[in-house]
Amino acid sequence: ARDSRCDRYDITMRTARVEIIPGLLSTVNTYNGLFPGPTIVAQRGRAVRIRQTNELSVLTGVHLHGGKVPAAHDGHPTDTIAPGASRVYDYPNNQSAAPLWYHDHAHMIEGDNVYSGLSGAYLVTDQQEQSLPLPHGRYDVPLQIRDARVLSDGTLYYTRAQDRPHVLVNGKERPRFEVAARRYRLRIFNTSVDRPFDLRFADGSEFVLIGTDGGLLSEPVRVQSLLLGAGERADVVVDFARYAVGGSVVLVNAAALATENADVMRFDVVCTASDSSKVPGKLAAVPPLPKATVERNFVLAQDWTRGALINGNVYDPNRVDVQTRLGTTEIWTITNADPAGPPPNFHLNHSFHTHLADFRVLDRNGKPPAPTELGCKDVVRIPPGDTVRIAMTWSGYTGRFVFHCHQLPHSEWGQMATIEVV
C-alpha cells in the first residue's frame, strides 16, 4: 500500500509447507508463506514501514542487511519479537541503489532462524540506476543461493557440520530457468549460513560484474567467477545471446566438495527476444572516502571451549567494544588467526560484516582486492591466515550497532561485537 510518506507492508512470520526438492514437502519458517520471503523494492528517499508479526514459536528479530537504519529499527540481537507479538520497522532508504536483504537476527539463534527460511531480498533503487540502459523488469532477477540438508522425509535439517549437500536457488533445489537469448541482470545473494560459493558457468564463459553489496561499481568488470562468502552479493549482467535457442548452460559451484553435485542451476535458452539493454562504461559515482583518523585491529579466532571470538571476546550485548564519533573515518585491519584445516573446512573461514557503515576493501594480504570486493561492501571473506584492511565512515545515526561474522554458526557462538557511535 502507498501513502504520501511511505510504502507500508505487513509481513507475518509463519510456517509453510514448500516443495524444495521436487515431490517432497518440507515445513519451513517463512515471511508471508514464501521461501525465501517476498522481495521488497524500495525507492531511495522514500521510507518503507514494515509491520512484522511473529506467528512462529521462536523468538525472532529482523535486520535489514546493508540498510542504513537508526539503531532502534536495526534489529539488534536483543530487540526481538516474541511469539504472538508484532512490531514495526521503519527503513528510511536514504542510500543509493543496492541489493540489500532482510533476515533474522535474534540473539544466539540467528543461524537457526535464517536457515529455517527467514530471509528475503530488499532492492533499493534510485533515479541514477534507473537512468542506465541495464536489463530491467522480467530480465532483472534476484537469485538467492544457499545450501541445505533435506532429509528423505522432507525435514529441512540444520546441522552445524558441513553436511548440507542441497544447493537451493530461490528456495528450489538446482532449478532450471528458461531464458530468452538476450542480456539478463542477475542479483546474486549468498544467503547460506556459512558456505562460500565460487560461481562460474560450466563452459567458462565471461560475464560482467556491475555491482557488489552496496551498489553499482564505478565501471563494469569482466569476470569468469564470483567468489562470494556468506552474506555477500554480486550484481552481474549475463548475455545468453551467445547460446542458440535450444541451448543451455549450467551455473556451477567450483568450491563444491568432491562428494557433492557442483551444479547450482541451469539456464535453458528457449526463445529469442529483442534486447535494447547494454552495460554502459560508467555505472555510478563511487565517492572516495575521507582520510581515516582512527585505526583498529580485530583478530578473529575460534576457541573450542569458549566459542568464536573477536579480539579474544565472545559477544556480550551489554558491553560496548569500541566507540567512535559520528562522522569518523576508520581503517580496520581484520585477521583470521585460525589455521586452515583439510577440506571441508569452510567453518574455518570468517565472513566479516558491519551494520550501519559500508566499507571499501583496501587490500587483502597487502594485495589489491578481487573484483567482487570492489565498490561499497558490507561483507568481506576472511579465510584462514588472511589479513584484510577495510575503511569506512561511521555516519548517519548514533547509537549501538553490531559487527560480526556472517558465518552465522560463528555469530551464534559469540563472534559479534558492538560499536557505539556517539
- Which spans of this chain sit near ligand C2O (rule: CB under 6 A)? 63, 65, 103, 105, 231, 353, 355, 402, 404, 406
C-alpha cell at 294: 582512527
CA distance 264 to 140: 19
CB of 105 to ligand C2O, least distance (A): 6
3-state helix, strand, coil in the chain (%, to 5): 5, 50, 45
Q: Which stretch binds Cu ion (CB under 5 A): 73-81, 100-108, 244-252, 403-411?
A: 403-411
**HSE of 218 in the Cβ direction (CA atoms, 13 Å)?**
7
410 binds Cu ion (CB under 5 A): yes
For ligand C2O, give the closer residue by CB, 97 or 114.
114
State whether residue 288 is helix, strand or coil.
coil
By CB under 5 A, tell whether 335 contacts Cu ion: no
> In terms of CB distance, is 195 or 406 closer to ligand C2O?
406
Q: Could you give the CA distance from residue 190 to residue 276 in angstroms, rounded to a whole number? A: 29
Q: Does the protein bind Cu ion through residue 97 (CB under 5 A)?
A: no
405 is in the binding site of which of Cu ion, ligand C2O, none (Cβ under 5 to 8 A by kind)? Cu ion
- Rounded to 10 degrees, the C-alpha dihedral 371/375/379/380 comes to 40
* 8 Å CB contact between 101 and 189: yes
Task: Compare residues 172 and 355 and give the one whose CB is closer to ligand C2O.
Answer: 355
For ligand C2O, the closer CB: 249 or 390 = 390
C-alpha cell at 419: 560499536
103 binds, among ligand C2O, Cu ion, none (CB under 5 to 8 A by kind): ligand C2O
First to last CA, the chain: 36
Choose the one of ligand C2O, Cu ion, none that binds residue 350, judging by a C-beta under 5 to 8 angstroms depending on kind.
Cu ion
Residue with cell 557503515: 357
**Secondary structure (3-state) at 329:** strand
Q: Does 347 bind Cu ion (CB under 5 A)?
A: no
Tell me which of ligand C2O, Cu ion, none is bound by residue 404, counting a contact when its beta carbon lies within the kind-specific cut-off of 5 to 8 angstroms.
ligand C2O
How many of the other CB atoms lie within 10 Å of CB of 262? Answer: 17
> Could you tell me which residues are beta bridge partners of residue 46?
none
Q: Which is nearer to ligand C2O, 277 or 351 (CB)?
A: 351
Grid cell locating 209: 560484474
User: Of ligand C2O, Cu ion, none, which one sits near residue 360, judging by CB under 5 to 8 A according to partner kind?
Assistant: none
Q: In this chain, which residue has its C-beta nearest to Cu ion?
A: 405
162, amino acid identity:
Q
Q: Tell me how far, at minimum, the Cβ of 103 lies from ligand C2O, in Å.
A: 6
Edge-first strand order for the sheet with 197-201 is 176-181, 263-272, 248-253, 197-201, 226-228
The least distance separating Cu ion from the CB of residue 407, rounded to whole angstroms, comes to: 4
Strands 197-201 and 226-228, by their bridges, are antiparallel
336 binds Cu ion (CB under 5 A): no
The residue among 60 and 407 lying less far from Cu ion, judged by its C-beta, is 407
The residue of the chain with the least Cβ separation from ligand C2O equals 65
Contacted entry of Cu ion, ligand C2O, none for residue 347, CB cut-off 5 to 8 Å set by kind: none
Residue 410 contact, options ligand C2O, Cu ion, none, Cβ 5-8 Å cut-off depending on partner type: Cu ion
Q: Could you tell which of ligand C2O, Cu ion, none binds residue 73, using a CB distance below 5 to 8 A set by kind? A: none
Taking CB under 5 A as the binding criterion, the range among 122-130, 150-158, 239-247, 399-407 that sits at the site for Cu ion is: 399-407
Instruction: Classify the phi-psi angles of 334: left when phi > 0, otherwise alpha if psi is within -120 to 50, otherwise beta.
Output: beta
Q: How many CB atoms lie within 10 A of CB 2?
A: 8
Please tell me the distance from the alpha carbon of residue 217 to that of residue 238, in angstroms, as a whole number. Answer: 16
Tell me the C-alpha to C-alpha distance, in Å, between residue 19 and each of 36, 171, 175, 265, 372. Answer: 12, 8, 12, 16, 32
User: 136: Cβ–Cβ under 8 A, 6 or more apart, which residues?
Assistant: 130, 185, 277
Q: Which residue has the cell 568481506?
A: 380
Q: Between residues 256 and 356, which has the closer beta carbon with respect to ligand C2O?
A: 356
Query: Binding of Cu ion at residue 405 (CB under 5 A)?
Result: yes
Binding residues for Cu ion, how many (CB under 5 A)?
5
Residue 350 makes contact with Cu ion by CB under 5 A: yes
User: Least CB distance from residue 142 to ligand C2O, whole Å?
Assistant: 16
Q: β-strands 176-181, 263-272: how paired? A: parallel
Give the range of 69-77, 174-182, 350-358, 363-371 binding Cu ion by CB under 5 A. Answer: 350-358
Q: Which is nearer to ligand C2O, 107 or 266 (CB)?
A: 107
Q: Please give the residue ranges that form the binding site for Cu ion (CB under 5 A).
A: 350, 405, 407, 410, 415
